[in-house]
Amino acid sequence: MNFSDTLHKNPIFNTVAQQADALGLRAYVIGGFVRDLVLGRPSKDIDIVCIGSGIELAEAVGKALQTNVAVFPNFGTAMLRAIQAGQDWEVEFVGARKESYRSDSRKPIVEDGTLEDDQNRRDFTINAMGISLNTDGFGQLLDPFDGLKDLKRKIIRTPLSPDVTFSDDPLRMMRAIRFASQLGFDIEPDTFDAIMRMNERITIVSRERITDELNKIVLSPTPSYGFKLLYHANLLDRIFPELVALRGVETIEGKGHKDNFYHTLQVLDNIANRSGKDNTDPENELWLRWAALLHDIAKPATKRFDAKVGWTFHGHEDLGARWVPGIFRTMKLPLNEHMRFVQKLVRLHLRPIALSKEQITDSALRRLLFDAGDDLEGLMALCRADITSKNYERVQKHLRNFDKVERKLHDLEERDKLRNFQPVITGELIMETFGLPPSKEVGELKTILREAILDGIVPNSLDVAYPYLLEEGRKRGLTEKQK
pTM, entire model:
0.85
Helix axes of 376-385 and 260-272: crossing angle, nearest 10 degrees: 130
pLDDT at 483: 59
Mean pLDDT of 89-107: 73
Mean pLDDT of 71-88: 86
Which region among 61-70, 99-108, 165-174 has the lowest average model confidence (pLDDT)? 99-108
Q: Is the pLDDT of residue 100 over 80?
A: no
pLDDT band at 390 (very low <50, low <70, confident <90, very high): confident
Q: Where along the chain do its domains lie?
A: 4-153, 427-475
Residues 155, 185 contacting (CB under 8 angstroms): yes
Mean pLDDT of 209-223: 97
Mean pLDDT of 401-420: 74
Q: How many CB atoms lie within 10 A of CB 428?
A: 10
Q: How many CB atoms lie within 10 A of CB 49?
A: 24
pLDDT band at 80 (very low <50, low <70, confident <90, very high): very high
Q: How far apart are CA 261 and CA 266, in angstroms?
A: 9
DSSP 24: T
Q: Is the pLDDT of residue 342 over 90?
A: yes
Mean pLDDT of 46-66: 94
pLDDT at 184: 96
Q: Is the pLDDT of residue 451 over 90?
A: no
Residues 292, 268 contacting (CB under 8 angstroms): yes
Q: How far apart are CA 20 and CA 56, in angstroms?
A: 10
Q: How far apart are CA 388 and CA 395, in angstroms?
A: 7
Q: Is the pLDDT of residue 109 over 60?
A: no
pLDDT band at 96 (very low <50, low <70, confident <90, very high): confident
Mean pLDDT of 238-242: 97
Tell whether the torsion through CA atoms of 312, 314, 317 and 322 is positive or negative: negative
Q: What is the pLDDT of residues 294-326, one digit of tens each?
A: 999 999 999 998 888 888 899 999 999 999 999
Higher pLDDT, 146 or 107: 146
Mean pLDDT of 335-361: 87
| Residue 374, beta-bridge partner list | none
pLDDT at 402: 81
pLDDT at 110: 56
CA-based nearest residue to 61, from 9, 26, 22: 22
**Class assignment of domain 4-153?**
alpha beta
pLDDT band at 345 (very low <50, low <70, confident <90, very high): very high
Percentage of residues of the chain with pLDDT beyond 70? 92
Helix (H, G, I), strand (E, B) or coil at 475: helix
Residues 109, 117 contacting (CB under 8 angstroms): no
Q: What is the pLDDT of residues 123-182, one digit of tens each?
A: 999 999 999 999 999 999 999 999 999 999 999 999 999 999 999 899 999 999 999 999
- H-state helical runs in 154-298: 162-168, 171-183, 189-198, 207-218, 223-232, 236-239, 241-244, 260-272, 282-294
pLDDT band at 291 (very low <50, low <70, confident <90, very high): very high
pLDDT band at 352 (very low <50, low <70, confident <90, very high): confident
| Residue 111, beta-bridge partner list | 98
Q: What is the pLDDT of residues 255-264, one digit of tens each?
A: 878 899 999 9
pLDDT at 363: 81
DSSP 245: T
